[in-house]
Amino acid sequence: MEDVPDLLAIYNAAILTSPATFDLEPQTLEQRTEWFLAHGERYPILVAADEEAVLGYACLSPFREKPAYGKTVETSVYVHPNAHRRGVGTALVSAILDRAKELGYHTVIAGITAGNEASERLHQQFGFEKVGTLREVGYKFHQWHDVHFYQLMLSENA
Question: pTM of this prediction?
Answer: 0.93
Q: Pairing relation of β-strands 107-113 and 72-79? A: parallel
In the chain, where the domains are located: 4-153
Chain centroid to Cα 140, Å, comes to 18
Rg of the chain, C-alpha, whole Å: 15
Instruction: Please write the tens of the pLDDT for every residue from 95-114.
Output: 999 999 999 999 999 999 99
Instruction: Please write the tens of the pLDDT for every residue from 2-36.
Output: 899 999 999 999 999 999 999 999 999 999 999 99
pLDDT higher than threshold 60 for residue 155: yes
What residues contact residue 34 under an 8 Å CB cut-off, 6+ apart? none
Instruction: Please write the tens of the pLDDT for every residue from 24-80.
Output: 999 999 999 999 999 989 999 999 999 889 999 999 999 999 999 999 999 999 999
What is the predicted pLDDT for the residue at 18? 95
Class of domain 4-153: alpha beta
Dist CA 4 CA 48 (whole Å): 13
Dist CA 120 CA 150 (whole Å): 8
What is the predicted pLDDT for the residue at 145? 98
